Chains A and B, each alone.
Chain A
Amino acid sequence: MSSAQIRFATLWRREVNRFMKIKKQTLGAPLLETFLYISVFGAALGSRIDKLHGIDYVVFVIPGLIMMAWSTNAFANNSSSILQQKFQGAIQDQLSSPASPAELLLAFSLGGFMRGLIVAGLTFIASSFLVDLPVDHILVLVPSLLLVGFFFSQLGVLIGVRAEQFDDVAFAQTFVLQPLIFLGGVFYSAQLLPQPFETLTHFNPIYYMINLVRYGFVGFSEVSIALSLLALTAATAVLFFVNLRLFTTGYRLRA
């Protein structure tokens, strides 16, 4: 391995090591949360709800839960990891190393990405035991999930870099991200909503992400798949370059 490869692998390993050391909190809790959602909305409530768009309610809900698991964990991991390291001053060890801004950004991003991947992957495996979960369009599902994971990793990095106190991260997660996810159609179809809520849902970017993932699993979508994929790719790229700019200029990282 070259010096640069060792450096990048170490930066990434540090991020993975961090969440693996507190896995009850970083992996166990989100898995339990997702399991509870499946139990309450899928099994308990779902047995009283007829099919949605010809799909069993529990099967309709699970793709959104998998997407939610990946996105919230990727976001939470990166925002809290960066803020904690800023708070401790430990980030100085990485910032004063020969690592480039792009290396630092990618390593931080991939930490959350991995945590999201593990939680989403375990959710998928557990769900497969509980229900017959199809994978209708794997060529849409895989890029959609990867893009969703990377988008929320970048968002976590952005919030972590900007945050000056833990309250800033909690605010973004509780008052912005969580409502957008819940109102993005994880548990319902937007077409069933009365106006103006159905139209308003179309302004929620997470609605399109949920539809992409749901289409990948069950083959049903309320939006254009091609356009949604294109928009998600563009949004992820924009966010990446915004973060790269922050790391290059040292915004709230270097004095």
Chain B
Amino acid sequence: MPENALQIDDLVKRYPTGVEALRGVSLEIRPGEMFGLLGPNGAGKSTLIHCTTGLAQVTSGTIAIFGHDAIVDYGEARQAVGLAPQEPNVDWFLTVAETLDYHAGYFGMPKKARLARTEELLETFSLTEKRDERTRTLSGGMKRRLILARAMMHRPRLLILDEPTAGVDVELRLELWHYVQRINREGTTILLTTHYIEEAEQLCDRIAFINSGEIVGEGTSAELASRYGVANLEDAYLALVGRKELSRSHVEVEVEA
């Protein structure tokens, strides 16, 4: 049986302030899956991603990426991961093309491969015309395109997209999903966090709900809806966050009444 793309066991993250952001999270993502992680703000989604990618220190528990311990054998583990963070954290001193080139260099890609991959992703994300512009001059949408391209530069086997469509226009959102679906079909495992539930419902093979640092539900969208005794994933999510009254069916009934 192949190693899981991501295997998290009993992960605890406690900040020095005493806040426990993750409280014994266990999660399995199979190779080739598109996996959605949903939860309200502050639920622990980004902390979980930061622990997985080495941006946060783990308090206890284990994380394995394609069988490599992400804490002890972090080199191999991180080599397999591409991260597009929630905030467009681009380096102001670099141009668009340099951003991609340097990222690939950090992951040990030889120059020839870097150059070819840079051209390919500039084209894919419609950034070719901006290639020599400093990143600080880019619009929010362009920065978003750039960090998505950057995450994919070293051809990661596990791509983590932390709310990649937050604040982007419809055009980019659709472009992104077409690209993500394509690379997923080609074998890249995707971990996606999003606030757009319909996106998760349409794109993800399986979904986990996280709340207050704990995984409170996991399965396909139909399984989650069934578990919460509701019609769809959105209603299951509203049940999770205790806001059933916002359900569309509930609102429709009220309007009819």
Contact = CB atoms under 8 A, between A and B. Distances in A.
B89 A90 contact: yes
B15 interface: yes
Contacts of B89: 88-90, 92-93
B53 interface: yes
Contacts of B79: 98
Nearest to B54: A96
Interface residues of B, number: 33
B100 to A, nearest CB: 11
Contacts, number: 89
Contacts of B102: 10, 13-14, 93
Contacts of A3: 107-108
B57 A254 contact: yes
Given A93-B106, A255-B50, A98 B75 contact: yes
Nearest to A89: B89
Nearest to A10: B105
Nearest to A5: B108
A88 B94 CA distance: 12
A97 B103 CA distance: 8
Q: Which 10 interchain pairs have the tightest Cβ spacing?
A: A10-B105, A3-B108, A89-B89, A97-B106, A90-B91, A255-B56, A98-B75, A96-B53, A98-B78, A18-B93
A21 to B, nearest CB: 6
B91 A95 contact: no
Given A7-B107, A95-B55, 6 more contacts: A11-B105, A14-B102, A21-B93, A94-B106, A97-B103, A100-B75
Contacts of B103: 93, 97
Contacts of A254: 50, 54-57
Nearest to A84: B92
A6 B54 contact: no
Interface in B75-134: 75-76, 78-79, 81, 83, 85, 87, 89-94, 98, 102-103, 105-110
Nearest to A251: B57
Contacts of B228: none
